Structure 1
Amino acid sequence: MKLTIERSALLKALGHVQAVVERRNTIPILSNVLITAGPDGASFAATDLDIEIQESVPARVDREGMATAPAHTLYEIARKLPEGADVTLELSGDDPRISLKAGRSSFSLPCLPPGDFPMMPTEDLATRFTIEAKALARLIDKTRFAISTEETRYYLNGIHLHAADSDGRATLRAVATDGVRLALSETDLPDGAAGMPAVIVPRKTVQEARRLLEDSDDEIDVSVSEGKIRFHLGKAVLTSKLIDGAFPDYERVIPRDNPKAMTVENKRFAEAVDRVATISIEKSRSVKLSLDDGMLTLAVNNPESGQASEEMPVEFGEGSFTIGFNARYVLDVAGQIEGNEAQFHFADPASPTLVTDSGDPDALYVLMPLRV
């Protein structure tokens, strides 16, 4: 195998595929990227057995063939090569090493037999639809912060993606929750997605899919089955297994008639929460929200490091109300608000609070309160 590729094309492809490779592997071949030189150029592939990503790039192929190379090492070399450099990758004869040359730089890297590289079995991905990359990126960005990291509740370790009916409007909906907060975002249902199965896309797959969508204005082809999902954008194809489990009935925890409504300037509110949370350790302790006569008082009381409070005007109905939240979770939600104002809909200090965005009617958030 021998091919020559421009450094920026190599770096972009390796940036996508090497991210799938775990730093520590008990199976050596999973630390490698599979390089294929064919009549149409070069392709690079990596897998962790649950996710597989392949990306094709233009290259001058002098000798067709296949080889593997350490993924992270190859990426770091490409990252440090000068811009505009032409990179030659060559594997010849029985040499157990692949050579990389660019200008006056040369490297020799160990490789493993390409026949050992595991390929994910293909299956019929019956549901296929096309969606704008920006629309899919928005669904991910609005919800992924709420994905659970608790491995025992594995069915919450991803984004629940499914077709939904939103007041008579067909939508593609993404939902994530960790049990104490919930994020929901939706967009018009793409053609062909009406019959898609409800799936749970794993956290790592969500991260890698979002990486592919970075700064793209193109459309992405999505294929779904009961067990797998595939994203095809340009020359890159990401295939992943899905989480085998039942996502909880999230509709039951979304409050629909919380009578107490607070409208607050989101940027100013987030900055105030961040300031008073300085007293808390890693913004993880509760911040108390006290409402009275159109004034919100934010307060944090930490026995170890002191107290903090800040006042700001808000729109709120008559009467007074007090509730507590995890400060970091409040900031996570505030970071997703696109409009100038956020609306908090309260029932009582122990019930879930609904948060809506004045600039995005297709997103909502639910926060469970803390005892203060």
Structure 2
Amino acid sequence: MKISIERGALLKAVAQAQSVVERRNTIPILANVLIEAEGEGAQFRATDLDIEVVDKAPAMIERAGATTVSATTLHEIVRKLPDGALVTLTADAAAGRLTVEAGRSNFSLATLPREDFPVMASSEYQSNFTANAAVLRRLFDKSKFAISTEETRYYLNGVYMHVADGDGGKVLRCVATDGHRLARIDADLPAGATDMPGVIVPRKTVGELRKLLDDDEMDIAVSVSETKVRFATPDITLTSKVIDGTFPDYTRVIPQANTRRLEVDASEFAKAVDRVATVSSERSRAVKLQLDEDKLVLSVNAPDSGAAEEELAVAYSDERLEIGFNAKYLLEIASQVDRENAVFLFNSSGDPTLMREGNDQSAVYVVMPMRV
């Protein structure tokens, strides 16, 4: 195999590959990227056995072929080459080496045979549809903060993507929760997605998917089966196993009867929470909210480190309420608000609190209170 490829195109492809491979693994081939050169360009494939990413890049192919080489090492080399450089990759199967040449730089890397590289088995997808990148980005970006990191509750270690009943009919919905907070985001149901099985997209896959969704104009081909999900652009295909488990009935924890309504400037609220939380104890990070007529007082009282208080002008006309929250959870939820105002709906100091972005019903957040 011998190919010449522009440094920028190679860096993009190898960066995608090296972020999928596991740094520490007992199977050496899984640290490698499979480079396949044929026809008009080259394909770069990487996997950790749960996720597989394939990135196509234009290249001048002098000699077709394939090899595998350390994804991290190749990425580091290409990253340090000068912008605009033309990189030549030459594989010598007999010697088990890949030569990387650019200008006066020359590297020789150890390779492993391409036959050893595991390729993810193709799946029969029950549902195939197309969704705009901006729509998918909103669904996953606004929900991923609530993904649980507790390995014992593995079925919460991802975003539950499914078809649900919304206010105006069926919607494509993403939900994530860790038991302390919950995010539920809706989008219009794309054509062809009606029969999609509900799947839990793993946390790592959500992170890798984000790299495909930067171009607002781009449409993403989505394929879903009971065991796998695939997202594809013209250049990159990301395939992932889904979490084998049942996502809990999240509708039961979304409060329906919360009537005490607080409306507040979202960015002012987030900044104020951040300021008073500076003195909160690391362990509890507790912030108290005291609500009275058109007034919100945020306070922290940490015996070890000090106390803080800040007052905000808000829209609130219900009876007086005191309620405590973990500052980190409040900040994460407030940072999701794209609109100017956040609306909080309370019931009592011991019940879950609901938050929306203004009057928008398509994004709903729930946060559990804590004793302060």
Do they superpose with TM above 0.5? yes
Cα-to-partner distance string for 1:36-60 (whole Å, 9 max, x where unaligned)? 0111310000000000000111100
2:134 maps to 134
Shift of 1:360: 4.0
Superposed CA RMSD in Å reads 1.1
Shift of 1:233: 0.9
AA paired with 1:352? P
1:203 maps to 203
Distance in 2 between the 1:309 and 1:298 partners? 6
2:116 maps to 116
Identity of aligned residues (%): 55
Q: Which has the higher mean CA deviation after the structures are superposed, 279-288 or 186-195?
A: 279-288
Structure 1 residues 22, 359: closer, same or farther in 2, change over 3 A? farther
1:92 aligns with 2:95: no
Structure 1 residues 282, 2: closer, same or farther in 2, change over 3 A? farther
Question: What is the number of residues matched between the two proteins?
Answer: 372
Distance in 2 between the 1:12 and 1:283 partners? 40
Structure 1 residues 319, 8: closer, same or farther in 2, change over 3 A? same
Q: Which has the higher mean CA deviation after the structures are superposed, 341-350 or 292-301?
A: 292-301
1:184 maps to 184
Distance in 1 between the 2:123 and 2:314 partners? 54
Consecutive aligned runs of 4 or more in structure 1 exceeding 4 Å deviation: 281-284
Shift of 1:157: 0.3
Distance in 2 between the 1:161 and 1:360 partners? 20
Asked if 1 retains the 8 angstrom alpha-carbon contact of 2:260 and 2:318, the reply is no
TM-score of the aligned structures, taking structure 1 as reference length: 0.98
1:292 aligns with 2:262: no
Q: Which has the higher mean CA deviation after the structures are superposed, 117-126 or 211-220?
A: 211-220
2:224 maps to 224
Cα-to-partner distance string for 1:117-152 (whole Å, 9 max, x where unaligned)? 000011201200000001001101110000000000
Asked if 1 retains the 8 angstrom alpha-carbon contact of 2:163 and 2:171, the reply is yes
Which ranges of structure 2 fall in alignment gaps of 5 or more residues?
A: none
Distance in 1 between the 2:7 and 2:49 partners? 28
1:365 maps to 365
Distance in 1 between the 2:243 and 2:64 partners? 37
2:262 maps to 262
Shift of 1:361: 3.2
Distance in 2 between the 1:280 and 1:249 partners? 34
Asked if 1 retains the 8 angstrom alpha-carbon contact of 2:263 and 2:343, the reply is yes
- Matched position secondary structure for 1:9: helix
Asked if 2 retains the 8 angstrom alpha-carbon contact of 1:288 and 1:323, the reply is yes
TM-score of the aligned structures, taking structure 2 as reference length: 0.98
Which ranges of structure 1 fall in alignment gaps of 5 or more residues?
A: none
- Matched position secondary structure for 1:140: helix
1:105 maps to 105
- Matched position secondary structure for 1:15: helix
- Matched position secondary structure for 2:142: helix
Distance in 2 between the 1:139 and 1:93 partners? 45
- Matched position secondary structure for 1:111: strand
Distance in 2 between the 1:319 and 1:189 partners? 40
Asked if 2 retains the 8 angstrom alpha-carbon contact of 1:16 and 1:212, the reply is no
Cα-to-partner distance string for 1:166-211 (whole Å, 9 max, x where unaligned)? 1242210000000010001111000000000011000000110111
1:60 maps to 60
After superposition, where does 1:9-28 map in structure 2 within 5 Å? 9-28=9-28
Asked if 1 retains the 8 angstrom alpha-carbon contact of 2:180 and 2:368, the reply is yes
Shift of 1:92: 2.1
